[in-house]
Amino acid sequence: MTESQTEVVQFARLESTLAADRERYASAAPFPHVVLDGLLDQGAFERACSGFPPIEDASWKSYLHVNERKYASQEPDAWDATLRRITRELTSDRFVAYLEQLTGFSGLLVDPEMDGGGLHQSFRGGYLNLHADFTSHHTHLDWRRRVNILLYLNREWHADWGGELEFWNEDRSRCVERVAPIGNRLVVFTTDETSYHGHPDPMTCPDHVGRQSLALYYFQRESDPLTQATDYRARPDDGGVKAASIYLDKKMLGVYDVVKRRLNLRDGFASNLLGRVNRLRHRQR
């Protein structure tokens, strides 16, 4: 193969440990998951870290509200060649077959629309409150969401910056596992109505550093899938005022979720609306 044809995902490495990783996945608490380091060829990883579109790029949508402070890009045409290529390989037949064997879900479907996925980044003060993800696709109404993958694309990340992905038990009484967003680390987990996760504490990374990741979601076709909006929840020590804010914001976003499904709205609409609300809130302080 020429250099341009060489795979950037290290498939042989993934497949060589599949049997052991499948057992780890199935037995993991609080819900099935596995953490795999060194997914990409090192050169591809370095190029991907450098290739994130600048935050000023029009492809970024802002999600700045009570339950999260992050940015997302779902427009691969605005990404550099390495990021597009990584995405192609992580949605290829070979990778989907690997995921099916790893997770036990058959007939997994990739999502070319990147509903909720794509490139994500957040900066100092950014966070994502504890939540269980929306359970079905917004335009393919017979698609039930089953598997999430998160690929971290941070060239460096220090423990004291925060930003660890937290996995909480079903009743949200305790955090069971924390995963640092180490570069070239892949996290795969089953997503359902009780798979609570997030990074809810504001990060303390330097102003010029972003927590960068690629998020891709995989679905199964069902005749009548459960339809539930993202279920944000407070932690036990968040306090009454914060818990109320989280609940009210969740309810507002739940209304948007229903409208989005019925009117086939794009997330750019929500991004613009939330941005205006966020600016108004800051002016009123």
- Are 101 and 108 a contacting pair, CB within 8 Å? no
C-alpha 175/C-alpha 167 separation (Å) is 6
The DSSP code sequence of 203-215 is: P---TT--EEEEE
Beta bridge partners of 167: 177, 197
C-alpha 155/C-alpha 183 separation (Å) is 6
- Are 80 and 123 a contacting pair, CB within 8 Å? no
Strands 128-132 and 175-179: what pairing? unpaired
For the entire predicted model, the pTM comes to 0.91
C-alpha 157/C-alpha 206 separation (Å) is 10
- Could you give all domains of the chain from N- to C-terminal order, each with its CATH number? 11-283 (2.60.120.620)
Q: Encode the chain (285 residues) as per-residue pLDDT tens digits.
A: 334 568 999 999 999 999 999 999 999 999 999 999 999 999 999 999 999 999 999 999 999 999 999 999 999 999 999 999 999 999 999 999 999 999 999 999 999 999 999 999 999 999 999 999 999 999 999 999 999 999 999 999 999 999 999 999 999 999 999 999 999 999 999 999 999 999 999 999 999 999 999 999 999 999 999 999 999 999 999 999 999 999 999 999 999 788 877 776 566 555 455 555 444 444 444
Structure tokens at 106: 């058959």
pLDDT tens digits, one per residue of 218-270: 999 999 999 999 999 999 999 999 999 999 999 999 997 888 777 765 665 55
User: For 92, phi and psi rounded to 5 degrees?
Assistant: -80, 165
pLDDT tens digits, one per residue of 194-232: 999 999 999 999 999 999 999 999 999 999 999 999 999
Structure tokens at 117: 């996925």
CB atoms within 10 A of CB 110: 18
Task: Classify burial at 37, counting beta carbons within 10 Å of its beta carbon; exposed 0-12, middle 13-18, buried 19 or more.
Answer: exposed
C-alpha 211/C-alpha 77 separation (Å) is 21
C-alpha 47/C-alpha 120 separation (Å) is 17
